[in-house]
Amino acid sequence: MNTSEYSGVKIGKQKTDFIAGVNSPVIQDSINLSGNWDLFRPEHELQNRGFETYACAVFSALDCLETLFMFYLKQNLFSVEDVKWLGDKGYFNKGFINFSDRYASQFADIEIGTGTYIYKANDAVRKHLIPETLMPYKLDGYYNIDDVTEEMEKLNKEFQKRFTINWEYCKDFKKSPVQVIVKYATGDGILKPNGALNHAVMAYNEKDDHYSIDDSYMPRDKKYGKDFVFNFVNYTLTINNKINMDIGKFLTDNDLKFVRNQNTGAFGRVMQKKLRTIETLDRGTLLLLDNEHRKNGVSVTDEEWETLPKLNF
């Protein structure tokens, strides 16, 4: 395939996508103060090993998540029990965390020749994470959904109980590596390609005049000029520990306050010892709820949200 003619990303956003500082409930801490993720990068995986997957949006998202997981591991931010579980279930490969690109790609609505939207890839990735060894790259039948087994689905559900992944449009290298969209290019020095954006990659460091890029093609390491990189996406990892919430005290202390799920963005309000949940996709209503939450609200994790007694408004 002529990579200069590659087209793997559709341009567009959902109205409900989280945007930092606008509508995002995601709570992110600055965990890597250097903003350089080079030492935590995972094993390099090519998206084309004889079959062009058009899955750059999935490969780049998983590069970011694998890097984030490696950071947590090297900084001892996981419990011993969680590390053992990841090892026992096969998430380590050659010393790196390695998620299956092919498994996540089954759910990303990827179209051969044009790829998929960033939001579809990231939604697929955050909800579908199994080890690479369970569903590795293959030449024939890469997108055969029948290859997904009950064993894979069961393991993915166990993973989701332990870890919650979120993403939002944001550029903050102190919080995570960043997925970006570029015009595909290769060569030495700082790349400044003009033309339609067609490729998603991981940016793992920011310099004064360029971003350091990890590409799912060869060569792996590239530099892109700062005016030639777009659509920045950050990631968060929530470790779902066992809940010790005093539900009665929470409901009493937060009576009449607005509650927001920091992982899903859902809203509710505590009234009469229950969380009265609000279901709407109307952007005007969501804007007003966000404003009220900022004035008189608290945030909880999805795990805490699920433990609270609820009624719909």
Tens digits of pLDDT across the chain (313 residues) = 556 678 899 999 887 777 777 777 777 789 999 999 999 999 999 999 999 999 999 999 999 999 999 999 999 999 999 999 999 999 999 999 999 999 999 999 999 999 999 999 999 999 999 999 999 999 999 999 999 999 999 999 999 999 999 999 999 999 999 999 999 999 999 999 999 999 999 999 999 999 999 999 999 999 999 999 999 999 999 998 766 677 878 888 899 899 998 888 889 999 888 899 988 878 778 778 888 888 888 888 887 888 888 888 8
Number of domains the chain contains: 2
Does residue 188 sit in the same domain as residue 138?
A: yes
What CATH code is carried by the domain that includes residue 284? 3.30.2390
Q: Which of 194, 220, 239 marks a domain boundary? A: 239
Compute the half-sphere exposure of residue 289: CA atoms within 13 Å on the CB side of its CA.
Answer: 23
Which of 17, 43, 14 lies closest to 264 in space, CA to CA?
17
Q: What range does the domain containing 127 cover?
A: 3-239
Q: Is the same domain home to 211 and 67?
A: yes
Contact of 225 with 234, CB cutoff 8 Å: no
167 and 303 in a single domain? The answer is no
Query: Do 121 and 8 reside in the same domain of the chain?
Result: yes
Indicate if 131 and 209 belong to the same structural domain: yes
CA distances (Å), 276 to each of 35, 249, 255, 256, 303, in order?
Answer: 40, 17, 11, 10, 17
Residues composing the chain: 313
In terms of Cα–Cα distance, which of 98, 118, 96 is closest to 108?
A: 118
Give the CATH number, domain containing residue 156. Answer: 3.90.70.10
> Which residue, 209, 239, 269, sits at the end of a domain?
239
Do residues 136 and 205 share a domain? yes
DSSP state of 242: P
Domain identity same for 266 and 155: no
Residues 231 and 89 in one domain: yes
Q: What is the pLDDT of residue 2?
A: 57
Give the position of tokens 């609200």.
297
C-alpha to C-alpha distance for 222 and 124, rounded to whole angstroms:
26
User: How many Å apart are CA 257 and CA 240, to the nearest integer?
Assistant: 24
Q: What is the pLDDT of residue 137?
A: 98
Q: What is the pLDDT of residue 213?
A: 98
Domain boundary among 223, 239, 255: 239
pTM here is 0.82
Task: Examine the domain organization and report whether 179 and 256 are in the same domain.
Answer: no
Paired with 271 in beta bridges are: 274
User: Same structural domain for residues 213 and 166?
Assistant: yes
Could you tell me if 216 and 185 lie in one domain?
yes
List CB contacts of 22: < 8 A, sequence separation 6 or more. none
Q: What string of H, E and C letters represents the secondary structure of 21-69?
A: CCCCCCCCCCCCCCCCCHHHCCCCCCCECCCECCCHHHHHHHHHHHHHH
Query: Are 210 and 124 contained in the same domain?
Result: yes
